[in-house]
Amino acid sequence: MISQLLQFLFLAILGANLVDAKWLSVIPNAPVRSISKVFGIPTWLSHIEDYDDDAMNATTVFSVVCIAVSTVYALYYLAFIYVPTQARGRQSIGPFNTLVMLYLIATFFATFSFSVMSVGRIWASFGVFHNLFEIALLSHIMFRQKSIMQRRFVATCFIYLLLTMFIVIIAPWPLDALFFKFQGLATDFSLSIDLGRLYYHNKSIHRKASVGTMIPSSDDEEDSDEYTKECDLLIQQLQQQQVEQEKQMDADPKKVMSMMVPVHKNISVLYTAALLHAVGNALVTFSNHFYLWIIFQFIYAISFPMYAYYCIAEPNASRVSFYKVDYAKEALVMVMGATLAGVSIAVGIYNSGIKL
């Protein structure tokens, strides 16, 4: 362990010497960056076309307030309304929803700090946690609800934080901003893709249950893998619930039944929120125009309250079925996310006229 740490420090020192790491270092012909009006420190923002300071501040503050109110209400609902009413032993929101709530909290701090100091190296200390919980959600989907407190998972997250911030600190402007934008945009695209897969997977299960899909017999189950049995059991449970509801309606036609929204419809809220956030982030990467920044900031006021709504509508994610993991497909998702991020940044560099 000590030898690994020494190797890391050696590489860090070597890397710092190679790039001449300084807080205010820049590459030749780098665009002029703006200065934070509050702290007087360099930011990652260059000239924004048709910029209006009042409109930008109003949009940013509105987004921060929307995220804060929705997050606080979701926390209140889960802690003081939902959890206390559950039976002993079931008083939990589950690891997936825990990650969603942590993602919301991290996003609030990232947006609030952005409104105070603007985006930059110092702000990255807050923004990196927003990206971290996107990676955590991706990992949770990939490994199908394994504990978020496993030692390997925690260690991986810690290494991500150290490595990302180390590169941000030593890389000169604008390479520091480009690197942070690339890894953030790649995770945005990857998360939206995987949440889309999760949505269509649960929608497929709901459709099979609705049309009365035949469940394999005990003889067939011997040849089925564990994942197939899990899906079959879930379909059977959904069919039984539908039969019981129909019996209750037949027994008392005047009785008003409260029907639960199918789980895939709640997941579609997450999918839409992630997709909106990724598209908004890509827009300000394509071009540094003021109206694109307004759209990007305003999308925060839409997408992240949608995450909070999901946690209220689906408090513990126990109904969510995670698709069978195919590591080749997951690798393809990562490649697609990185490719989309790279193309977005390339278009932005071309439009801005930056020469690296």
Q: Is 21 among the domain residues?
A: no
Residue type, 169: I
Please state whether the predicted TM-score (pTM) of the whole model is above 0.85. no
Q: Is 241 among the domain residues?
A: no
* Residue labelled with tokens 């409260």: 258
| pLDDT score at 159 | 92
CA of 45: how far to CAs of 30, 33, 53, in Å?
12, 5, 13
Q: Is 39 among the domain residues?
A: yes
> What is the distance between the alpha carbons of residues 287 and 314, in angstroms, rounded to a whole number?
37
| pLDDT score at 216 | 46
| pLDDT score at 237 | 52
Q: Is 271 among the domain residues?
A: yes
356 residues of the chain, pLDDT tens digit each: 444 544 544 455 445 444 444 445 788 888 888 888 888 889 999 888 889 999 999 999 999 999 999 999 999 999 999 999 988 878 889 889 999 999 999 999 999 999 999 999 999 999 999 999 999 999 888 876 555 556 777 888 899 999 999 999 999 999 999 999 999 999 999 999 999 999 999 999 888 776 544 444 444 444 445 555 555 555 555 545 554 555 554 555 544 444 578 899 999 999 999 999 999 999 999 999 999 999 999 999 999 999 999 999 999 888 888 888 888 999 999 999 999 999 999 999 998 776 65
**How many domains in the chain?**
1
| pLDDT score at 84 | 92
> What is the distance between the alpha carbons of residues 342 and 352, in angstroms, rounded to a whole number?
15
Q: Is 297 among the domain residues?
A: yes
| pLDDT score at 240 | 57
Task: Please enumerate in sequence order all residues whose Cβ is within 8 A of that of 176, keeping only pairs 6 or more positions apart, or say none.
Answer: 44, 121, 167, 168, 169
For 348, the domain range is 32-200+262-352
Q: Is 70 among the domain residues?
A: yes
Cβ atoms within 10 Å of 4's Cβ, excluding its own: 8
Q: Is 126 among the domain residues?
A: yes
Q: Extract the tokens encoding 170.
A: 């030593």
> What is the distance between the alpha carbons of residues 50 and 48, in angstroms, rounded to a whole number?
6
Q: Is 222 among the domain residues?
A: no
